[in-house]
Structure 1
Amino acid sequence: MRAISSHLMAERFVSIVGPGGIGKTTLAISVGHQLTTELADQVHFIDLGSLSDPHLVAGTIGSALGFVVDDRDPIPGLLAALRDIRVLLVLDSCERVIEAASALAETIFEEAPQVCILATSRETLRVRGEHIHWIAPLEFPPEGVHMSAREALAYTAVQLFAERVAASQLRFMLNDVDAPVAAEICRRLDGIPLAIELAAGRVDAYGIHDVARLLDHKFELWRGRRTALPRHQTLTATLDWSYDLLSELEQTILRRLSVFVGPFTIEAAFAIAAGDDLDDSQVVESIASLVAKSLLTGNTRLAIPLYRLLDTTRGYVQAKLAKSGDASLVARRHAVYHLALFERIGAKLPGSRKSDNASDSNLIRSMTGAEATI
């Protein structure tokens, strides 16, 4: 919050970007509160997530500031009103109307020199003046490490989980028996704050061990605060929000990529997602877009870049895949690809010749146990 506030005052235009449920809105509101004194209470929160018509963006901002603008062409009047005032505009959930919000934010930044803009979005606005602050998930314990409650609580994801459970169970304290289960829950929820809060809210009904067992595809069982925005009341609603904003091509490729339990290379993505109906260039373009929209994570610092779906996203999209009619085809492609990969590497192991293929070796090392048994 301090870093974003400082950056915003220096650069005037900051976008908070990250996947659904990561805490972008909460963080933006906190930054706005912190800057109210410095900006003489001229901080305005505008929820663009409720809009479906991009033509309403400028009028919505004008109404939030109390300006009278021409409904037929509100932008000139909005710019005229903003040109000589110092104000912070918090534009929340820009992804819903990304093209209109991006264009208007750039215009305001360039033509109203005293206006600061703090945007939240699941993808970057990609306009002049924008400085991006990516929100990372909370830290969670590594897999395969048995730890005490004290050790688990050193991780921020477990801290949040324990805090939220204690809010509904006043006498709750994380103990050494439950600590590994709490760590597993936080790990399987990828450190996403909203998902952790929703799961913690069900511990009073099911207990920690049953909550862990209910993680697979039981998203509708977890309901959040009644006062939360509809898209934040269940994990399904949050994922619906992101999925529905994708193009049909992006939805198809995301569904097909959900067959990967762990990391995968672009080569693997071609083998599973491309085919008679899609070519490699469409897969490349869609993967880049899905990374930008926070639905895939990519580690491009490796010699062979690896991509993966967050486990929560993967569980949700796999249900979509099952209903699409593609499930059998995708499962077969997945099995054929890995069979060919293992045969290729096996031919180069002792008794033949050691593998010198960096792509093959890196992929094998990165695989989860579930994929390696295919």
Structure 2
Amino acid sequence: MPVSGKLGLPTGTVTFLFTDIEGSTRLIEELGEDGYVEALAEHRGLLRAAFSARGGVEVDTQGDAFLYSFADPGNALAAAAQGQQALGSGPVRVRMGLHTGEPRLTGEGYAGRELHRAARVAASGHGGQIVVSAATRAFVDGELTELGEHRLKDFDEPVALFQLGSERFPPLKTISNTNLPRPASSFVGRRRERDELVGLLGNGTRLLTLSGPGGSGKTRLALEAAAELVPAFKAGVFWVPLATLREPALVMEAIAQTLGAKEGLAEHIEERELMLLLDNFEQVVEAAPDLGELLEWCPNLKLLVTSRELLRIRGEVDYPVPPLAEPDGVELFCTRAQLEPDETIAELCRSLDELPLALELAAARTSVLSPAQILARLSERLDLLKGGRDAEARQQTLRATIEWSHDLLGDEEQRLFARLAVFRGGCTLEEGRTSTPSSRWSTRASSGTRASASGCWRRSASTPGSAWPRAARRENCAGGMLSTCSTSPKRSAEPWTRVAIRVRCLPVSPPNTTTYEQRWSGCATNAKTRRCSASSRLFGRTWRPAASTRKQTPGFRSRSSALRRP
């Protein structure tokens, strides 16, 4: 590496290391002027020794700040780590920043944008933290934690920043404070919806809930809208994933950890202009009142929430996430599968109800199956649609998404869903009440979120306006859906029979006028909105062998009594 003969400074590609004491004014008040002078001198001696040992050249010292340059980026990173270790747990907390570039060297020292960029990188950090730019990251090895893209003061283009080590610190002090993850795939469609969300949050809405079933794309849409809003919030936009939580009491703690709040959360936020994206709120929805209190305490806080169930607190604005428009669904599938659109693909997308998760999973199967083969096999099993191992467990298969939704229901709600599954084509509210007596109707029916089409399952179904995706509605998938409820045929016989009797979807002629199987399968034809073919499949496993021998198995007796009863 060339070195300036006059100044002895590295030239060419140089790595800058900036340091600065955090809270120097506070330290003077705590230590007194004499104590601060002693601490400052000790701090300088420790850092000079650590940096010089790694080949660093001191460029400038101003007050409590240092600037060193290094010919080797790896040595610069090691020097920073050694310096922080030397300072230890003493009273002086130092933030450090590293950036690599090709600065201009004048007769008086370095000059240019790279020098200023390095200073901004260091200023973004906190005491004890070492922030590293992407330019330096490209040259070094080590345990670096990605902090996302940030816009630095006086620089228009964002820069990816990293941190040495995995210790948790408050958000970086940049123009665009955010921890929003960067999706690995492109955003397809829904630009109108994204713009509507941005408009709502920019025009006074403080609590906006993106509601919808699993796999409808709530999280991705919310992330895209949040990314657009980053410049509008001076204190930042932060993503708080809640999918792994099951205890509502942990929600506030998760938010505090994300923000680096060391004291009370409301005291930490106060009047800061901040937005939180709370992702997957449905399993901790009982924490909704806590969010209401937080909004009252923090006048400039806004919340963007994704949930399969509304929070139902004051000020909430519901934004139901619709399915993709057909052209967007085809574009999403073709983009992920790297195929050209055709009518088969369009039909495949329609059969999946333009559900983003289902389209993504189907596209992942095109490496081994053609779209036509996928379309033909969709009626066979839900497990055909499998995703990659890096996806969340609840999103690796369409069945997993449905089962995850089912697990969020309480015991009584699960029993209610198992009974309502007989209405394969949907049912009216009164039919549901008549056939499935349950306290859940009185407690939930008024909200409308669980008392339509599929009752309690409505909030966690897979597409708005239907009980589940078209693929799952098909007759061959009915058994799979029933297995999700873990309901045995014997245990199910009584409620299924009562359903058939009370809504009168069975013919009332004597059973000997036709075969049992013919009359049972005719239910769907006689009452389209109360089809019982799924029940037929369930009973078929118990009554067919008995039909030939006329033995009265439990399933046969239940069904026979149902047919005889007027």
Measured against the shorter chain, the TM-score band is 0.7 to 0.9
Between the aligned partners of 1:3 and 1:310, the Cα distance in structure 2 is: 26
- Do residues 228 (structure 1) and 428 (structure 2) align? no
Q: Which residue of 1 aligns with 2:225?
A: 31
Residues 94 and 120 of structure 1 are in contact (CA less than 8 Å); yes or no, is this contact kept in structure 2?
yes
Letter in 1 for 2:482: Q
Please say which of residues 90-99 and 231-240 is displaced more in the overlay.
231-240
Q: Which residue of 2 aligns with 1:169?
A: none
Q: Which residue of 2 aligns with 1:114?
A: 300
Aligned Cα root-mean-square deviation (Å): 3.4
Between the aligned partners of 2:359 and 2:269, the Cα distance in structure 1 is: 40
Larger RCO of the pair (alpha carbons < 8 Å, separation 6+) = 1
Between the aligned partners of 1:81 and 1:87, the Cα distance in structure 2 is: 11
Say which SS state the counterpart of residue 157 (structure 1) adopts: helix
Q: Which residue of 1 aligns with 2:122?
A: none
Q: Which residue of 2 aligns with 1:92?
A: 279
Sort the Cα spacing of 1:321 and 1:160 in 2 relative to 1 into closer, same or farther, 3 A: same
Aligned-residue offset at 1:312? 5.7
Residues 46 and 90 of structure 1 are in contact (CA less than 8 Å); yes or no, is this contact kept in structure 2?
yes
- Do residues 187 (structure 1) and 373 (structure 2) align? no
Between the aligned partners of 1:44 and 1:270, the Cα distance in structure 2 is: 43
Aligned-residue offset at 1:31? 1.1
Between the aligned partners of 1:186 and 1:137, the Cα distance in structure 2 is: 11
**What per-residue deviation string (whole Å, max 9, x for no partner) do you get for residues 301-357 of structure 1?**
xxxxxx7444466545322356434444455445545655777xxxxxxxxxxxxxx
Residues 270 and 298 of structure 2 are in contact (CA less than 8 Å); yes or no, is this contact kept in structure 1?
yes
Between the aligned partners of 1:322 and 1:57, the Cα distance in structure 2 is: 31
Letter in 2 for 1:67: A
Residues 12 and 117 of structure 1 are in contact (CA less than 8 Å); yes or no, is this contact kept in structure 2?
yes
- Do residues 134 (structure 1) and 307 (structure 2) align? no
- Do residues 257 (structure 1) and 443 (structure 2) align? no
Consecutive unaligned residues of structure 2, counting only runs of 5 or more, are: 1-193, 509-525, 538-566
Between the aligned partners of 2:261 and 2:328, the Cα distance in structure 1 is: 42
Residues 266 and 297 of structure 2 are in contact (CA less than 8 Å); yes or no, is this contact kept in structure 1?
yes
Structure 2 matches for 1:287-366, cutoff 5 A? 287=451, 290=456, 293-295=459-461, 308-311=467-470, 315=477, 317-321=481-485, 323-325=487-489, 326-333=491-498, 335-336=500-501, 340=505
**What per-residue deviation string (whole Å, max 9, x for no partner) do you get for residues 38-67 of structure 1?**
224701100111112222211110110111
Residues 214 and 462 of structure 2 are in contact (CA less than 8 Å); yes or no, is this contact kept in structure 1?
no
Please say which of residues 226-235 and 247-256 is displaced more in the overlay.
226-235
Between the aligned partners of 1:115 and 1:278, the Cα distance in structure 2 is: 37
2:371 to 202, 208, 216: 208
Residues 295 and 302 of structure 2 are in contact (CA less than 8 Å); yes or no, is this contact kept in structure 1?
yes
TM-score w.r.t. length of structure 2: 0.50
Residues 216 and 462 of structure 2 are in contact (CA less than 8 Å); yes or no, is this contact kept in structure 1?
no
Between the aligned partners of 1:121 and 1:159, the Cα distance in structure 2 is: 26
Say which SS state the counterpart of residue 243 (structure 2) adopts: helix
- Do residues 12 (structure 1) and 238 (structure 2) align? no
Between the aligned partners of 1:270 and 1:283, the Cα distance in structure 2 is: 12
Give the share of equivalent positions with the same residue, in percent: 30
Sort the Cα spacing of 1:98 and 1:112 in 2 relative to 1 into closer, same or farther, 3 A: same
Between the aligned partners of 1:13 and 1:279, the Cα distance in structure 2 is: 27
Residues 295 and 313 of structure 1 are in contact (CA less than 8 Å); yes or no, is this contact kept in structure 2?
no
Consecutive unaligned residues of structure 1, counting only runs of 5 or more, are: 70-76, 141-154, 167-171, 300-306, 344-362
TM-score w.r.t. length of structure 1: 0.72
Mark the structure with the bigger radius of gyration.
2
Q: Which residue of 2 aligns with 1:161?
A: 333
Aligned-residue offset at 1:251? 0.9
Q: Which residue of 1 aligns with 2:196?
A: 3
Residues 434 and 503 of structure 2 are in contact (CA less than 8 Å); yes or no, is this contact kept in structure 1?
no
Q: Which has the higher helix share?
A: 1
Q: How many residues end up aligned between the 2 structures?
A: 315
Letter in 2 for 1:318: L
Sort the Cα spacing of 1:278 and 1:312 in 2 relative to 1 into closer, same or farther, 3 A: farther
